[in-house]
Structure 1
Amino acid sequence: MNDSTAKNATALRILLVEDNPTNQKVALLLLKKLGYDADVVNNGLEALETLRHHFYNVVLMDIQMPEMDGLTATRHIRMEFSPPHSPWIIAMTANAMKGDKEACLNAGMDDYIAKPVRKELLVQALELAIQRCPRSE
């Protein structure tokens, strides 16, 4: 992380949408090591409800979850929140088959990281988000 990224880390509000407790802990630990904090919800329905009450610059979105999967949640977010109130959405998924990245982008996600998440790829995705995501409510 460069100096400008470090300065922006505290200003970046991140929502982690992940149903697996182990994956939540791993992602939160990795984010913390990079200087970021994040709030956590367990599925797409919880993500939508949380976004209705709080602004987040970035959403790290799992794809396969109960209640509402990440692709469906992303489509709802894009319909409900227009720029500049729509967050930058990064898919974080174990789906790494051919066509999965395209499915995520077609659903309205802005970026894609395959699990297990590699630190350098997360850094790149967050640096891109800092450059492009909305800054305030």
Structure 2
Amino acid sequence: MVAEDDEINRMLTHHQLLDTGLVLEFAENGKVAVEKARANRYQLIMMDIQMPEMDGIYATKAIRLLPGYAEIPIIAMTANVFSQDRQVCLDAGINDHLPKPVRTEYLYDTLLKWLEK
């Protein structure tokens, strides 16, 4: 699942992953991401950090409490790139951090790293 509020970023992510064979589902904010995670089982979640209604930090914490989601990889995709921003993500239960704009090669490397596990 990709949790991203910006339609252009959703389209870019979809385009970047179009030829990978991955089945993508999108959530337009953190609240929807939590609802979708409650209803479905995802192998990996890509999470924007700054979203309306519920940001990615709170959404991650809520998803981590759901049955079966304690170990599911959650990858932050965010413009917040300072070391303290990365630490906030890690403290919330996010496994990895991709800076925006997300470069395709970094996206692929990160997905391979976490999906292989």
Q: Same fold (TM over 0.5)?
A: yes
* Residue equivalent to 1:19: 5
**What does residue 102 of structure 1 align with?**
87
TM-score (norm 1): 0.79
Deviation per residue, 1:25-84 (Å, 9 max, x gap): 00110011333231001111101111111110010100000000000100111122345x
Give the aligned partner of residue 111 of structure 1: 96
Q: Which residue does the alignment assign to 1:121?
A: 106
Unaligned 5+ runs, structure 1: 1-14, 133-137
Give the superposition deviation at 1:86: 4.7
- For residues 22 and 110 of structure 2, the distance between their equivalents in structure 1, rounded to whole angstroms, comes to 13
- Could you say what secondary structure the match of 2:116 adopts? helix
Cross-structure match for 1:45: 31
1: distance between equivalents of 2:53 and 2:41? 22
Between 85-94 and 55-64, report the one with greater CA deviation. Answer: 85-94
**Aligned residues: CA RMSD:** 1.5
| C-alpha separation in 1, matches of 2:68 and 2:54 | 21
- Larger-gyration structure (1/2): 1
Q: Secondary structure, in 3 states, of the residue corresponding to 1:65?
A: coil
* C-alpha contact 1:31 1:37 (8 A) present in aligned 2: no
2:21 corresponds in structure 1 to 35
Give the Cα separation in 2 of the matches to 1:106 and 1:112: 12
Instruction: Count matched residues.
Output: 117
Residues 49, 101 of structure 1: alpha-carbon distance in 2 compared, 3 angstrom cutoff = same
Identity of aligned residues (%): 38
Residue 62 of structure 2: SS of its match in structure 1? helix
**TM-score, L = length of structure 2:** 0.92
**Structure 1 runs (4+) greater than 4 angstroms displaced:** none
Alpha-carbon distance between aligned partners in 2 of 1:93 and 1:117, rounded to the nearest angstrom = 8
- SS of structure 2 residue aligned to 1:112: strand
